[in-house]
Structure 1
């Protein structure tokens, strides 16, 4: 009786084992890279921003002493007109450039995903190629196209009576925005298109049976269902706007209308290395990191609100 019952019940199961070391093995490399390349530099910057260097001897062989000044560097950074002007410049840049870039990326993704475009793979490759070009190389190419003396675009516009200077003080910011848009429309299009591919095709078929046009399907079905992806692309674009550096730095070599403190990151580099004030530069970098963190938190909150409503 006992043998038969034991055979029916089968072998006893041992205690369930925990996940072991496998999760740590996969998370470990990211944790190490995050600590070494992001967290540690940020902590060093915060610590350095609380000090300043006092020099003695009027610069003739004197000593250097590190003095704690608390929030003094942050006050100096916030009172730096060039640094704050750079924030205003990238804010204006982002208000115009980010919606334009994401609007174009969304439009191209919807067109490729629709039945209107036949050669979908070719269209994706053509739109993605600019992203494969490094930002510095792209800025050099566009800098050549912007120079009035050699630009075929400027010469072509002059033949029809339009005298355009892409590097003028009032237009150089938008010339920079054109470079950034040209570079990053493709990668955002790929992200949006990937999200569109995850939508079940049955929904489209049902909408077409009900008489919905492609435009109606895009507006009422596709865009609402890929809203989380659109928020992610918005988040990445805003962070990229705050970190604007490569394009204006390259254009600075071809025009004097881009100053060494044109953007916040350019101000940090100029202060820390050209002016050799690493402590003030650290305070500026912490301010930029705080602005990026606040914007990230706002976008994350908006994404959660959208998911709750959905």
Structure 2
């Protein structure tokens, strides 16, 4: 692969994970549609912001995991562009800056479209946007990276669940409801299955380099059972939507629960090593299944 080529950058932004951002905006926008507040302009900009911020976080993670010694030549997970030498340090720094600025431009667009229409004039979104930028950098970078101190899972639930779903709905409707909070939490927990599986697979190398994930701080069993629960609890949360009359939104995610359980069985059987990457691919597929089934269910009522 040529250094700093388009193929190298595609590898670096991890396209297999970008569906996570897409489903968050789709779910929130479906909720806004059924509540009579869908606005295509803000929804599109929320999608752009989410995708650009995830690319930023992936690049920062690619760089700093290598600098901190977490990405070694014997890495079990998919190839990382910077660790493989496919992207140079100056290019990686420029790429991180570029994606960050592009995300900020999308955020400014959201602010312009919502200014004066939201309860606090839209300026509350500035604090949220800044928090997202801080998370993208300090998840793996800085003197006290969250992922290295057992806070990675909490950060994912917050920044890949509650914040993107809640605020995508908020910028369209000007409201934040209990139903949206429940759905946002379910999405965050589902997306955290990918991190839990990664940490379960990498538990030995993470322990060697001082990356103290929840699995490292506790034991492998927490990774196994934590992965299962992170998928089943969201399906249970969706079932509570029956009380709000959203029958399909409550029942369709059960398809995800079945697929997730099948992947968990395979994960337990494999237990360790590079073969767990098969489960990683299935987990990405299952997350998309959850997002699609929940979105369709919300629209069906």
| TM-score band w.r.t. shorter chain | under 0.3
Which structure's CA Rg is the greater one? 1
**Higher-RCO chain (CA-CA 8 Å, sequence separation at least 6):** 1
TM-score for the superposition, normalised by structure 2: 0.27
Answer 1 or 2: which has greater helix percent: 2
